[in-house]
Chains A and B, each alone.
Chain A
Amino acid sequence: MMRQFSDVVKVTIFVFVLFSVFPLSTWAKEAIPVAEDPDIEKRMLALTVDLRCLVCQNESIADSRAEFSNDIRREIREQIKDNKTDKEIVQFLVDRYGDFVLYNPPMKPTTILLWFGPAILFAIGLGSLIVYLKRRRLQIEDVSLSQEQLKEAEALLNEDKKGKNV
């Protein structure tokens, strides 16, 4: 019994020593520092949330972990360091990758349909609804019963009531 107990103690001490010599935290890779300058990082992030990663097209460059986005983020950091304005940096990317990198497409002849298409469709829909409702009202007004027809209808209704009562 005593022997067993000392075994348990030995194992406990072994485990204790093991973990104090190799703390678990050193097994995990340390996080790479995001950036030296938080101001640059902030501006870079603000820019890249509106830019599309061309490799993973439904992700922004800010979100994406693709190699492509890493490179673009690095490029933008360097350009910020070189005192380029946001406009210049975006233009730099558009010149190389086209408007497709922008989540907000610019207004130009080729994108007019994109910008105004929904409004045009809405106007067409609203227009046809109004026309349809107006026409329907005219149709309803047209249908009016003559005095005779009314009497006839009344007679029929009364007949029905009598029939049911019996």
Chain B
Amino acid sequence: MMRYLMPLAIFMVLAVFLLVGLTLNPRQVPSPLIDKPAPKFQLNQLHEPDKIMSSEDNLGKVWMLNVWASWCVACRDEHPLLVQLANSGIIPIYGLNYKDERNTALQWLKRYGDPYAISIVDTDGKVGINYGVYGVPETYVIDKQGIIRHKQIGPVTVDSLEKTILPLIKELQKQA
């Protein structure tokens, strides 16, 4: 009896491992920056190029940093959701305009709506590297102490908003 059951058992174990493997997404590389201080930056603003925004300006509030570009197709998918979220006033969203051109970026915002409290410009992608950006869009939730609490790789979806991001924001806003 054992003789026949053993191969079956081994097969089952293998099958379970492979099945779990199928549900994993190799594109979702966990970020080592979670629960670490958000990398500091001082960047020019998109709308008013001579004004500078610093990451430290946002200390004391929970905020979102959304990495976007006018050349990024998936950004269009999440954009209506971001506009809706910005309009709800739940959380301020800041846009990191990643490796883009100012004029096309401005046009893009005119066309699809501008959910950003401020958009800042990362032309050469240096700040992007500091944030571990490798696939736009990416969205970071940063708490009052300036610590990254969540990173969404790829477009924000209704599902990810309702299940992860919004509950997290609520909790972070309660903290002192």
Min CB–CB distance A47 → chain B (angstroms): 15
Q: In the complex, which residue of chain A has the Cβ closest to the Cβ of B128?
A: A71
| CA gap between A88 and B80 in the complex, in Å | 41
Name the contact of A97 in the complex, choosing from B26, B32, B99 (C-beta under 8 A).
B32
A interface residues with partner B (beta carbon < 8 Å): 54-55, 57, 67-68, 71-72, 75, 94-100
Q: Name the prevailing secondary structure of the B interface residues.
A: loop
Given contacts A71-B129, A75-B129, contact A94 B134 (CB under 8 A): no
Name the contact of B99 in the complex, choosing from A55, A67, A99 (C-beta under 8 A).
A67
**Contact assessment for B129 and A100 in the assembled complex, using a CB-CB cutoff below 8 Å:** no
**Contact assessment for B135 and A98 in the assembled complex, using a CB-CB cutoff below 8 Å:** no
**Contact assessment for A55 and B32 in the assembled complex, using a CB-CB cutoff below 8 Å:** no
| CA gap between A96 and B134 in the complex, in Å | 10
Residues of A within 8 A of B27 (CB): 57
Residues of B within 8 A of A67 (CB): 99
Name the contact of B130 in the complex, choosing from A55, A96, A98, A100 (C-beta under 8 A).
A96
Min CB–CB distance A53 → chain B (angstroms): 9
Min CB–CB distance B81 → chain A (angstroms): 24
**Contact assessment for A98 and B30 in the assembled complex, using a CB-CB cutoff below 8 Å:** yes
| CA gap between A55 and B26 in the complex, in Å | 10
Tell which of B125, B126, B135 has the most Cβ of chain A within 10 Å. B125
Given A75-B129, A97-B31; 14 other pairs, CB 8 A cutoff: A54-B29, A55-B134, A55-B135, A57-B26, A67-B99, A71-B128, A94-B32, A95-B32, A96-B33, A96-B131, A96-B132, A97-B29, A97-B134, A98-B31
Residues of A within 8 A of B131 (CB): 96
Name the contact of A96 in the complex, choosing from B30, B32, B124 (C-beta under 8 A).
B32
The 4 closest A-B pairs by CB, nearest first: A54-B134, A96-B132, A98-B32, A100-B29
Min CB–CB distance B97 → chain A (angstroms): 15
| CA gap between A99 and B132 in the complex, in Å | 12
**Contact assessment for B29 and A98 in the assembled complex, using a CB-CB cutoff below 8 Å:** yes
**Contact assessment for B132 and A97 in the assembled complex, using a CB-CB cutoff below 8 Å:** yes
Residues of A within 8 A of B31 (CB): 97-98
Min CB–CB distance A93 → chain B (angstroms): 9
| CA gap between A94 and B36 in the complex, in Å | 14
Residues of A within 8 A of B132 (CB): 96-98
Q: 12 interchain pairs (CB within 8 A)?
A: A54-B29, A67-B99, A71-B124, A72-B129, A96-B129, A96-B130, A96-B132, A97-B31, A97-B132, A98-B29, A98-B132, A100-B29
Q: In the complex, which residue of chain A has the Cβ closest to the Cβ of B27?
A: A57
Residues of B within 8 A of A94 (CB): 32
Residues of B within 8 A of A72 (CB): 129
**Contact assessment for B135 and A54 in the assembled complex, using a CB-CB cutoff below 8 Å:** yes
Min CB–CB distance A22 → chain B (angstroms): 32
Residues of B within 8 A of A96 (CB): 32-33, 129-132
Residues of B within 8 A of A54 (CB): 29, 134-135
Q: In the complex, which residue of chain A has the Cβ closest to the Cβ of B33?
A: A96
Q: In the complex, which residue of chain B has the Cβ closest to the Cβ of A69?
A: B134
Give 1 or 0 for each of B75-112: 1 = CB within 8 Å of chain A CB. Answer: 00000000000000000000000010000000000000
